[in-house]
Amino acid sequence: MYSLFALLLRKSYWQMLLRQATWYEAWLNLKRVHKDRRARKHIRHFLFLLIIPVLCLAYLVWVARSGAVFIVPILAAGVWWTNRRRRQEGGPLTILPGKAPAFRELSEAEQREVRAYFAELALLYAVMLDRAGSEAFLKEKVLPEGFEVTSRRVHLDMLKSNGLWDKMHPDDRESMMMADGHWEWERINYYTPGLEPLRLLRWILRLDFYLPVVGNQLKFDWKIANELVRAPQKLLGGKELGTLKMIDIGRKSAEQFFLRCLAEEITRGYREAEDKEWAEKVNASMAGKQHEDFVLAGKLVSEADKDQLIWATQLSRRRMLFLNFAGVTMDRATAPETPYTFLP
């Protein structure tokens, strides 16, 4: 029971339980639970998250009724002290050389430099995307979900007050200088796909502690840009930074997703490729397998419609490339000297 109470007191538990995406993913898996054992496993884990507070409360009630309530603080203190000593000692003594880490660890100074770069880059993305959403609203008069219109003047003041204006690429400065309502759809559509790099930057900077797979993030979420424009200190005032190992895992996951979707596109004839034999082999090994094939918003890749498949391919490729860039930047531990450029 101690482990359940410890889990209940962790910030990450409540973050996972209360995040909207957790419930959305549970809903997607619930629709597949009758035919996909992965979905059944996910639902079991989700239900376990929900029942932990109930189990802890029931245990406390039982302890209170049994008369052992006064022993609990003593036991808790004993467990806390034991864990504290174990952390301080760093495990059993050994004369064997330690295993070299697979990924280098950045020093505190390197972390500060790299984090400052990613934070400023994320703010640039947030502002440009917020402007793109505002321009789309001015053309359609339809406000995206979770979006609030911000004026061009607010965007300019934010960029200049945070020292970003002079660091921006001239093309992005030109876009930002245009009067409200003067962006054409071509310019709006150029900036909109940048929502994925911004999502990844939020994850790397630990504003979002969890990054779902591509198949569960096919929709645009304008809130992730708008909330940063309204509270830039969430980016600039933080200290946490993801690890190279974490980024590498995310990149490999995106790469697997990209290759699967790419093989499906080639097999269906949506894309020309020299190595059709590879694509057909991959497709034949995965198509229709409910327990193995990748899932796009509740559908297998082999069952997805054309637009959904093409978008998933583009999204996974964008994630793969950006995480590769982020990993290289962190490994060098030096911020690039080139201007801050918005790359969708």
In the listed set 31, 55, 89, which residue is the last one of a domain according to the structure? 89
Give a yes or no: residue 102 inside a domain: no
Choose the final residue of a domain: 89, 117, 142.
Answer: 89
Q: How far is the C-alpha of 167 from the C-alpha of 119, rounded, in Å?
A: 13
C-beta of residue 56 within 8 angstroms of C-beta of residue 4: yes
The verdict on 76 and 113 lying in the same domain is no
Tokens of 143: 């406000």
Same domain flag for 202 and 264 = yes
Range of the domain at 256: 107-344
Q: Is residue 270 part of a domain?
A: yes
The confidence score (pLDDT) of residue 268 equals 93
pLDDT at 124: 95
My answer on whether 77 and 10 are in the same domain is yes
The pTM (predicted TM-score) of the whole model is: 0.80
Residues 113, 71 share a domain? no
Which residue reads 């895992």 in tokens? Answer: 249
Instruction: Retrieve residue 39's tokens.
Output: 């979905």
The predicted pLDDT at position 96 comes to: 44
100 is a domain residue: no
Q: Report how far Cα 175 is from the mean position of its chain's Cα atoms.
A: 27
Paired with 342 in beta bridges are none
Give the separation between CA 314 and CA 318, rounded to whole angstroms.
6
Alpha carbons 204 and 79: distance in angstroms, whole number:
33
Assigned domain for 183 exists: yes
- Tell me: do 145 and 236 sit in the same domain: yes
Q: What is the DSSP letter of 73?
A: H
* Whether residue 129 sits in one domain with residue 79: no
Cα–Cα dist 93/67, whole Å: 41
> What pLDDT, on the 0 to 100 scale, is given for residue 80?
60
Please tell me the predicted confidence (pLDDT) of residue 95: 42
* Residue 212 to residue 221: CA distance in whole angstroms: 13
Cβ–Cβ < 8 Å for 115, 236: no
Calpha distance 217→229 (Å, rounded): 22
The answer to whether residues 242 and 134 belong to one domain is yes
The closest of 259, 304, 308 to 279, measured between CA atoms, is 259
* Helices assigned H by DSSP within the chain: 2-8, 11-18, 20-32, 37-66, 71-89, 108-140, 152-161, 170-177, 185-191, 195-204, 223-230, 233-236, 244-268, 276-286, 306-332
pLDDT, one tens digit for every residue, the chain (344 residues): 657 767 777 777 777 788 777 888 888 888 888 888 888 888 888 888 888 888 878 877 776 777 665 666 665 665 566 556 655 554 443 444 555 557 888 999 999 999 999 999 999 999 999 999 889 888 887 766 666 677 788 899 999 999 999 999 999 999 999 998 899 999 999 999 999 999 999 999 999 988 988 988 888 888 899 899 989 998 998 899 999 999 999 999 999 999 999 999 999 999 988 778 899 999 888 888 888 889 998 889 999 999 999 999 999 999 999 999 999 999 998 888 888 888 87
**Tally of structural domains, the chain:** 2
Do 38 and 141 lie in a common domain?
Answer: no
What's the token pair of residue 159? 């960029």
From the number of C-beta atoms within 10 Å of its C-beta (0-12, 13-18, 19+), residue 29 rates as buried
